[in-house]
Amino acid sequence: MTCTAEDLVRALRAVAAAVADHRAELTELDRVIGDADHGENLRRGFLAVVTKVDSADLDTPTAVLKAVGTTLISTVGGASGPLYGTAFLRAANAVTEKSEVDGPAAAEALRAALGGVVARGRAEIGDKTMVDALSPAVDAAVAAAEAGGDVAAVLAAAAEAADRGAESTTPLVARKGRASYLGERSAGHLDPGARSTALILRALASSAGA
Ligand code: ADP
Ligand code: MG
Ligand code: MG
């Protein structure tokens, strides 16, 4: 299967629902090593995304993804808004001219999204950020696409790897973002942004039928 603009809008509703369902969990993770706003930041942002993609006439995947990026940048405060916003804008650029996203295009979009996050936030693997979830997700997505996987298979592989990547942040000492202010005391706690990245990918994969 492939993913049309309409499929993508449905997937974004699933992401908004997942983020809303996990608002308290994300906020609690961010309370421990941040400022307790990650759940609310993302809930507000993806609610605005759903309103936006429902009201505008967006007939290509690139148009939908671009609307997501600009909406997240304008409605989510803090570090994660510009990071996720840039991720979606770069993903939009990776699928221009396509009316449907297939497995390889989905992997390319994820790779572009990671490039955006890194360009914006300068985090490396091991810095205890969303990059620790997104980077292995991209590797798994590319491998799944190369093995002939469709969108659902590519996103499922990405979600699986992101879950493990998010878990891997627990022992790490944060070197980027607010959690880095805690130094060694940030170790022993899951990174909220890595967790939300895994949640978002899981919702996208489920919506694609994985
Ligand atoms: P804020 O820290 O401004 O309150 P959020 O709570 O919404 O913003 O998001 C925090 C998350 O953002 C962190 O858990 C981390 O995953 C991510 N993050 C912060 N700084 C960076 C960075 N430079 N690069 C990548 N991700 C980052
Ligand atoms: Mg925060
Ligand atoms: Mg904040």
Residue 206 alpha carbon to ligand 2 centre in Å: 27
Distance 83 CA to ligand 1 centre (A): 8
The ligand minimizing its distance to the Cα of 36 is 2
CATH number of the CATH domain containing 134: 1.25.40.340
Does the C-beta of 131 come closer than 6 Å to ligand 1? yes
Ligand with an atom nearest the CA of residue 196: 1
Cα(194)–Cα(169) distance, integer angstroms: 8
What rounded mean pLDDT belongs to the chain?
Answer: 97
Whether ligand 1 lies within 6 angstroms of the CB of 63 is answered as: no
Q: Is 43 in the pocket of ligand 1 (CB under 6 A)?
A: no
* Residue 1 scores a pLDDT above 80: no
pLDDT in tens, 97-109: 899 999 999 999 9
Tens of pLDDT along 33-68?
999 999 999 999 999 999 999 999 999 999 999 999
Mean pLDDT of all residues in 179-194? 98
Number of domains in the chain: 1
**Sign of the C-alpha dihedral computed for residues 160, 164, 167 and 172 taken in this order:** negative
Tens digits of residue pLDDT in 131-160: 999 999 999 999 999 999 999 999 999 999
**Does the beta carbon of 39 sit less than 6 angstroms from any atom of ligand 1?**
no
Is residue 172 lining ligand 1, measured as CB closer than 6 Å? no
Q: How many CA atoms lie within 13 A of 165 on its CB side?
A: 32
Q: How confident is the model at residue 124 (pLDDT cuts 50, 70, 90)?
A: very high
Ligand 1 pocket, 80 CB below 6 A? yes
In the structure encoding, which two tokens stand for residue 5, read together? 């603009």
Decide: 178 in ligand 1 pocket, CB within 6 A: yes
Cα–ligand 1 centroid distance for 190 (angstroms) = 12
Mutate to test the pocket of ligand 1, among 23, 35, 37, 38 (most ligand atoms within 8 A of CB): 38
The model's pTM:
0.98
Range of the domain at 191: 3-207
Find the DSSP H helices in 56-191: 61-75, 80-94, 103-121, 131-146, 151-167
Confidence of residue 127 (pLDDT cuts 50, 70, 90): very high
Q: Is the CB of 69 under 6 A from ligand 1?
A: no
Q: What is the pLDDT of residues 162-175, one digit of tens each?
A: 999 999 999 999 99
Average pLDDT of the residues in 116-143: 98
**pLDDT-based confidence at residue 77 (cuts at 50, 70, 90):** confident
CA distance 6 to 12: 10
Question: Would you state the pLDDT for residue 49?
Answer: 98
- Which secondary structure element, helix H or strand E, spans residue 51, and what is its range? helix 38-55
Is 166 in a helix, a strand, or coil?
A: helix
How many angstroms separate the CA atoms of 205 and 210, rounded?
A: 5
